[in-house]
């Protein structure tokens, strides 16, 4: 059974989350302060933390920083703050995802499942994944669309690799730039946008009705396609 | 007042007076010489005429010089033999006295007349100056602007190099300084008090360029008259500013009242639906079938979303009112923003056909992508609300004169001309359609964001009926 640590100072939210999560088979521990959250993350080793940013003692971003000091446990921020500053700050501090309150329970559960799946140790990623008519084989560095091989530039390929190895995760501009271009980068969002546009075009993804890459304005991108293990 | 204000005394001896005073007796001598010995009376008449002409043309001094010369020369001309000097004749002395008297009388009269004429034209120029000054100053609405303008208009007519005004109005210190180009200061200076009733509210200091004319009494008087006008204009501007603040307060109160009624209605309505739905579901005395249960739950969900949107709008409005709406600019492409908004809005615009026109390779603009996203979202929501189902909503992005323009055209009822500015006011819902589901905030927020980006937003008629809501953000601002 998956253990979830819920950190929120509002008893009503704690109760609602506890009820819904337990109904879905999770074991739930709830705390109301940042200090308790850090202690809880260390002592009970949960598989997921749902964290409110507006805590009475510590700011949520500080909690993320402290928790990241000793564990890579997935953290999903739940917050009423919807400004891009707050999102980027929490994500850059090490949060895995950011869900704005009020949220739909099914969406939160989907994000939670994706985050825990990404964090699963041991199991090596499948060498080849299929997303509808798109097939990505990281082992052979081969990308095909409708069975036809796609010619991607090295940068486009690295970008695609960053996306498919972090499915469902909200990847900030800064994170993607450092991952693909290197440590010296972080503010050159124009490059990033140009390459994402080119990649979308080659993958046949319509930005007005995206099925692969979703834009989070001012924050980053998210690979949303559910992959199927290609098996071959 | 191009010629400036000149206060030259007419009794002064000038080169012109000397020349005329010398010239006229000379001409008289030439005329009188042939006839003088035979007809002395004619010679007297000729010289007298010369003295009168000299006094008329050359003023008092011209006349006097001519009279002295004429009385000296005339006896020489009429003497027998001519040009032999003898000044013992009583007749000659009497003639000389008459000449001098005539010159004195005519010269003084002429001087008086020309002085009167000069004074009249000066008064006229002063009146014109004060009139222009008054109308110029009274069109200035802010006290600071009145003083700036006043300082500026004094420079040329008074031939000043520098004007400095200091005044205290309602506890606020005002200062205005004007300088003429290229003039060196350090010449004569004078000062005038700004009086409001008997109370001094400030001082004006005027300075002429080094080597300039000293200030005459007339200069001083005119400067004082002008300063009185400026003080009156200042007082009026101050009262106007107060009236504007009062009006602003009234508008704020009206807005507050509208906000209260709107918020009460818009917040309570969804809450009522939610509470009704939930209490109905919790009621153990009735058995809902699965269809009814689902309907109730769907209503609760929809009303929750509506409430959330309204709260978001109210928060934005509060941020705007608090002046906290500062764009976080970053390079962004307008087509990407359009695509993101359309991707998110498609479910809510499913009753409409949505068309898009994007330029092939749009340049980047420096904007706050989240805020511009919201502007477009609000424009699309507005279009979706007012345009009937089945009609087309078309979004276009175009580049025009270095600005990026985004247009949302719908085939709805359009917006009457008289409402076109008011649609961007908070809580305004349009006079023709009082009960529309919007909060009346979307367009006000859109306008505030666009203005914060240095752009503008407006309403146009759509070619196919309906209206276009368009906004434009200048590229030079965008890359600032």
- pTM for the complete prediction? 0.58
Q: Identify the closest residue of chain A to B307 by CA–CA distance.
A: A102
Residue B417's CB: how many other CB atoms inside 10 A?
A: 9
Q: Do A207 and B373 touch (CB under 8 A)?
A: no
For the packed helices A189-203 and A173-180, what is the interaxial angle rounded to 10 degrees? 80
CB < 8 Å to A192, chain B: none
Q: Three-class SS of residue B1?
A: coil
Is the CB of A149 inside 8 Å of chain B's CB atoms? Answer: no
The rounded Cα A101 to chain-centroid distance in angstroms is 17
ipTM of the complex: 0.73
Q: Which of A16, A88, A103, A215 to mutate to test the interface with B (most CBs of B within 10 A)?
A: A215
Nearest alpha-carbon partner for A223 in A131, A149, A91:
A131
Run of H or E including A228: strand A228-229
d(CA B346, CA B431): 29
Q: Do B330 and A218 touch (CB under 8 A)?
A: yes
Residue A200's CB: how many other CB atoms inside 10 A?
A: 18
Structure tokens at A157: 């390929």
Q: Which of A103, A208, A214 to mutate to test the interface with B (most CBs of B within 10 A)?
A: A208
For the packed helices A84-93 and A60-68, what is the interaxial angle rounded to 10 degrees? 20
Give residue B88's pLDDT.
Answer: 59
Helices (H), B15-82: 15-32, 40-78
According to the 3-state scheme, what is the secondary structure of B358-412? CCCCCCCEEECHHHHHHHHHHHHHHHHHHCCCCCEEEEEEEEECCEEEEEEECCC
Q: Do A215 and B370 touch (CB under 8 A)?
A: no
- From residue B474, alpha-carbon distances to B370, B401, B455, B471 in Å are 18, 9, 6, 10
pLDDT in tens, A16-66: 999 999 999 999 999 999 999 999 999 998 999 999 998 999 999 999 999
Give residue A122's pLDDT.
Answer: 54
**Which burial class, exposed, middle or buried, applies to A151 when counting CB atoms under 10 A from its CB (0-12, 13-18, 19+)?**
exposed
Q: Do A215 and B340 touch (CB under 8 A)?
A: yes
**Which burial class, exposed, middle or buried, applies to B162 when counting CB atoms under 10 A from its CB (0-12, 13-18, 19+)?**
buried
Phi/psi region, residue B176 (left: phi>0; alpha: psi -120 to 50; beta: rest), is beta
Q: Do A217 and B373 touch (CB under 8 A)?
A: yes
Rounded to the nearest angstrom, the minimum Cα separation between B462 and chain A is 24
Nearest to B337 among A82, A83, A217 (CB): A217
d(CA B178, CA B43): 63
Structure tokens at B146: 């009145």
List, as own/partner pairs, every contact residues B327-330 make where C-beta atoms lie below 8 angstroms and the sequence separation is at least 24, other chains included.
B327/B367, B327/B368, B327/B371, B327/B449, B327/B452, B327/B453, B328/A84, B328/A85, B328/A218, B328/B368, B328/B370, B328/B371, B329/B366, B329/B367, B329/B368, B329/B478, B330/A189, B330/A218, B330/B366, B330/B367, B330/B368, B330/B369
Give residue A124's pLDDT.
Answer: 60
Q: Tell the residue number behind the tokens 């502007």, with chain if given.
A: B375
Helices (H), B217-289: 217-282
Inter-residue contact A50 to A28 (CB < 8 Å):
no
Going A136 to A140 to A145 to A146, the CA torsion angle's sign is negative
Nearest alpha-carbon partner for A89 in A58, A53, A56:
A53
Helices (H), B88-216: 90-138, 143-154
- From residue A34, alpha-carbon distances to A39, A66, A73 in Å are 9, 10, 16
Inter-residue contact A38 to A63 (CB < 8 Å):
yes
Q: Do A190 and B331 touch (CB under 8 A)?
A: yes
d(CA B356, CA B111): 85
CB < 8 Å to B330, chain A: 189, 218
Is the CB of B308 inside 8 Å of chain A's CB atoms? Answer: yes
Q: Which residues contact B246 (CB under 8 A, 6 or more apart)?
A: none
Helices (H), A11-164: 11-23, 34-43, 60-68, 84-93, 105-119, 154-164
Nearest to A208 among B308, B339, B364 (CB): B339
Query: Residues 267-306, chain B: which have Cβ within 8 Å of A?
Result: 304
Nearest to B369 among A190, A210, A217 (CB): A217
**Which burial class, exposed, middle or buried, applies to A149 when counting CB atoms under 10 A from its CB (0-12, 13-18, 19+)?**
exposed
Q: Do A215 and B336 touch (CB under 8 A)?
A: yes
Q: Do B373 and A189 touch (CB under 8 A)?
A: no
Q: Tell the residue number behind the tokens 């693909």, with chain if given.
A: A180
Going B53 to B57 to B63 to B67, the CA torsion angle's sign is negative
| pLDDT < 70: residue spans in chain B | 1-12, 78-88, 183, 185, 255, 258-259, 262, 428-439, 476-480
Rounded to the nearest angstrom, the minimum Cα separation between B480 and chain A is 16
Give residue B48's pLDDT.
Answer: 86
d(CA A95, CA A49): 10
CB < 8 Å to A193, chain B: 331-333, 336
Rounded to the nearest angstrom, the minimum Cα separation between A132 and chain B is 19
The average confidence (pLDDT) of chain B is: 82
d(CA B214, CA B1): 19
Q: Which residues contact A165 (CB under 8 A, 6 or more apart)?
A: A125, A138
Query: Residues 365-394, chain B: which have Cβ within 8 Å of A?
Result: 368-370, 373
Q: What secondary structure does DSSP assign to A163-214, as a single string? A: HHTSTT-EEEHHHHHHHHT-TT-SS-HHHHHHHHHHHHHHHT--TTS-SSEE
Q: Do A197 and B370 touch (CB under 8 A)?
A: no
Inter-residue contact B189 to B206 (CB < 8 Å):
yes
Q: Do A209 and B346 touch (CB under 8 A)?
A: yes
Structure tokens at B13: 């001896």
Query: Residues 151-210, chain B: which have Cβ within 8 Å of A?
Result: none
| pLDDT < 50: residue spans in chain A | 232
List, as own/partner pairs, every contact residues A85-90 make where C-beta atoms lie below 8 angstroms and the sequence separation is at least 24, other chains included.
A85/B328, A86/A53, A87/A170, A87/A216, A87/A219, A88/A172, A88/A174, A88/A218, A88/A219, A88/A220, A89/A61, A90/A53, A90/A60, A90/A61, A90/A64
């Amino acid at each position: 059974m998956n253990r979830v640590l819920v950190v929120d100072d509002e008893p009503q939210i704690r109760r609602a989350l506890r009820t819904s999560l337990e109904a879905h088979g999770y074991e739930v521990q709830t705390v109301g302060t940042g200090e308790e959250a850090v202690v809880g993350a260390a002592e009970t080793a949960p598989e997921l933390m749902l964290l409110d940013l507006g805590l009475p003692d510590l700011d949520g971003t500080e909690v993320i920083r402290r928790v990241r000091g000793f564990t890579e446990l997935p953290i999903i921020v739940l917050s009423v703050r919807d400004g891009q500053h707050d999102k980027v700050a929490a994500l850059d501090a090490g949060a895995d995802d950011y869900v704005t309150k009020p949220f739909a329970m099914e969406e939160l559960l989907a994000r939670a499942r994706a985050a825990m799946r990404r964090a699963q140790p041991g199991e090596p990623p499948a060498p080849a994944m299929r997303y509808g008519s798109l097939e990505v084989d990281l082992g052979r560095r081969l990308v095909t669309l409708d069975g036809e091989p796609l010619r991607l530039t090295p940068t486009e390929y690295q970008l695609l690799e960053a996306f498919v190895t972090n499915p469902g995760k909200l990847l900030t501009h800064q994170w993607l730039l450092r991952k693909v271009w290197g440590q010296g980068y972080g503010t050159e969002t124009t490059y990033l946008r140009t390459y994402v546009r080119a990649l979308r075009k080659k993958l046949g993804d319509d930005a007005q009705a995206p099925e692969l890459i979703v834009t989070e304005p001012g924050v980053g991108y998210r690979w949303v396609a559910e992959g199927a293990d290609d098996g071959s | 007042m191009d010629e400036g204000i000149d206060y030259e005394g007419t009794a002064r001896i000038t080169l012109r007076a000397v020349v005329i005073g010398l010239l006229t007796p000379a001409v008289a001598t030439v005329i009188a010489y042939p006839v003088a010995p035979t007809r002395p009376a004619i010679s007297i008449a000729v010289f007298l005429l010369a003295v009168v002409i000299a006094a008329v043309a050359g003023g008092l001094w011209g006349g006097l010089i001519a009279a002295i010369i004429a009385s000296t020369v005339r006896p020489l001309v009429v003497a027998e033999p001519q040009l032999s000097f003898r000044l013992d004749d009583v007749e000659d002395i009497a003639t000389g006295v008459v000449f001098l008297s005539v010159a004195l009388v005519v010269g003084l009269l002429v001087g008086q007349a020309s002085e009167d004429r000069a004074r009249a034209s000066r008064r006229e120029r002063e009146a014109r100056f004060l009139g222009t000054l008054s109308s110029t100053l009274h069109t200035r609405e802010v006290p600071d602007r009145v003083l700036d303008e006043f300082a500026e208009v004094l420079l040329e007519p008074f031939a000043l190099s520098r004007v400095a005004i200091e005044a205290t109005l309602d506890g606020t210190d005002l200062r205005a300084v004007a300088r003429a180009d290229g003039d060196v200061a350090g010449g004569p200076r004078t000062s005038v008090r700004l009086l409001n009733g008997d109370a001094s509210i400030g001082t004006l200091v005027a300075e002429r360029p080094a080597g300039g004319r000293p200030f005459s009494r007339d200069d001083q008087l005119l400067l004082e008259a002008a300063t009185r006008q400026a003080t009156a204009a200042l007082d009026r501007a101050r009262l106007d500013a107060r009236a504007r603040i009062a009006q602003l307060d009234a508008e704020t109160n009206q807005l507050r009242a509208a906000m209260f009624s709107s918020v009460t209605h818009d917040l309570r309505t969804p809450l009522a639906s939610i509470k009704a739905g939930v209490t109905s579901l919790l009621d153990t005395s009735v058995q809902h079938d699965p269809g009814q249960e689902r309907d109730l739950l769907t209503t609760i969900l929809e009303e929750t979303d509506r409430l959330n949107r309204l709260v978001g709008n109210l928060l934005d409005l509060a941020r705007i009112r608090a002046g906290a709406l500062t764009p976080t600019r970053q390079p962004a492409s307008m087509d990407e923003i359009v695509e993101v908004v359309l991707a998110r809005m498609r479910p809510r615009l499913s009753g409409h056909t949505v068309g898009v026109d994007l330029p092939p390779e749009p340049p980047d603009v420096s904007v706050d992508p989240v805020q511009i996203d919201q502007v477009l979202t609000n424009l699309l929501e507005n279009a979706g609300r007012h345009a009937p189902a089945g009609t087309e909503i078309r979004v276009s992005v175009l580049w025009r004169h270095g600005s990026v323009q985004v247009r949302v055209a719908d085939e709805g009822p359009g917006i009457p001309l008289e409402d076109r500015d008011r649609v961007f006011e908070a809580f305004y819902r349009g006079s023709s359609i009082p009960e529309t589901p919007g909060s009346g905030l979307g367009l006000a927020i859109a306008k505030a964001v666009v203005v914060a980006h240095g752009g503008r937003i407006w309403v146009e008629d759509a070619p196919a009926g309906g209206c276009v809501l368009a906004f434009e953000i200048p590229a030079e601002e965008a890359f600032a």
